[in-house]
Amino acid sequence: MKIIKTFEAAEAEMERRQLNWGDPATEKAVKNIIATVAKNGDRAVHKFTREIDKVSVDSLEVERDEIAAAYDKVDIGLIEALGVAAEQVRLFHQRQMQYSLKEFMGAGLGQIVRPIQRAGIYVPGGTAAYPSTVLMTAIPARVAGVEQIVMVTPPGRDGKIPLVTLVAAEIAGVDRIFRAGGAQAIAALAYGTESIPRVDKICGPGGLYVTIAKRLVYGVVGIDGLYGPTETVVLADDSASPECCAADLLAQAEHDPLSAAILITTSSKLARQVNKEVERRLNGLERADIARRSLEDNGCIIIIDDMEHAVDLVNLYAPEHLELMVRDASFLIEDIRNAGGIFIGKYSAEVLGDYVAGPSHVMPTGGSARFSSPLGVNDFLKLTSVIALGEEDLELLGPVAAALARLEGLTAHAMSATIRLKKGSKR
């Protein structure tokens, strides 16, 4: 792995790591897909599924009996594991709901908190199954009280959704499942087709086409965020285990050649040990080629003089995942402003967060942790302000509103207030 030894070089390295939203040609292609689906509905979804995914499907929607049959074909051990993970995710988000947005009403002013009616969740697929993403997106929506959860996911080469994904969807409480992926699935959720209902908000991670499509349909529907390649920073001192640090960097690197695995440490000795351990364990991985490309292109080890500057780098990068392999990690948390998730100590391995700890693994990437949060119940709630003022309130606030309206040249606005003031004075 590349080793960086000065703060200035490390700072430059962090600043260059920005999300790449694709070139103009890619965006033009996505715009064409969206426009075609908006105009032609199901026919366009089928067309792009054949042309892009090289798959033909008879029906976009997965029938209930197909979902029920999946239980008989999936290993009972996997079903039980999904059940345990689902319960952990559900319990966390139920606690989150307790501390989430609250309704209130007082002195004529308040707010109403309501769940969105219909949520669309995107689950990557096609060449692999990601049942964990089903749990991490659908369960927060269900806990928030969303009335209908609609899932889209790319079919495999056989035109089917992996059985374990169907089981996960049933466990998570998904209402309807559709065999559609990519930009065409996002467009279908945004505009609706003959088969796929229009939703209020689209949530979940995907590839470049999906991300661009979400950005382009925002405003027609809501979105949770824009997700780029996954990333992990391991912040470690000389108390850290080289084996654990290396294992977690490799776990990150095997996701994708574009993923980023970064070690920031105050210990030169640990840096050397981790680098050797990564190389020693790399060739034994099933996805060794992917992990090696990731480490060569996007991985690095940063050796820094002190923990204060190390934290500065973390906040600059705003990583999706941050592991704290340091003494007294709790003292650092207050200074860490930008991170999607913080994993404290060697027992809080990121893999537990990916699958079973409880918080959603859909987290901000590409520096967006500076201004956004992991997916949670708040993504599926919305606020309505309530204003119920009385005559005394009008007498106090009406003249102020009228004066400000006249200042801005909005005389009808001022009239709306003064008419009421005149009527009130006649009583």
Task: List, in order of start, the domains of the chain with CATH numbers.
Answer: 2-19+229-357 (3.40.50.1980), 24-223 (3.40.50.1980), 389-426 (1.20.5.1300)
Annotated catalytic residue within 320, 323, 350, 361: 320
Query: Any idea which residue has 């606020």 for tokens?
Result: 383
Dist CA 200 CA 219 (whole Å): 10
In which band, very low, low, confident or very high, does the pLDDT at 425 lie, cut at 50, 70 and 90?
A: low
13 flagged as catalytic: no
In which band, very low, low, confident or very high, does the pLDDT at 222 lie, cut at 50, 70 and 90?
A: very high
Whether the per-residue pLDDT at 198 is higher than 60: the answer is yes
Reported as a single tens digit per residue, the pLDDT across 310-347 is 999 999 999 999 999 999 898 899 999 999 999 999 99
Q: Using an 8 Å Cβ cutoff, are 159 and 179 in contact?
A: yes
* DSSP track, 30-68: HHHHHHHHHHHTHHHHHHHHHHHS----S-SBPPHHHHH
Reported as a single tens digit per residue, the pLDDT across 90-120 is 999 999 999 998 999 988 999 999 999 999 9
Annotated catalytic residue within 46, 93, 255, 321: 321
Dist CA 302 CA 268 (whole Å): 9
pTM of the model: 0.93
320 flagged as catalytic: yes
Dist CA 292 CA 255 (whole Å): 11
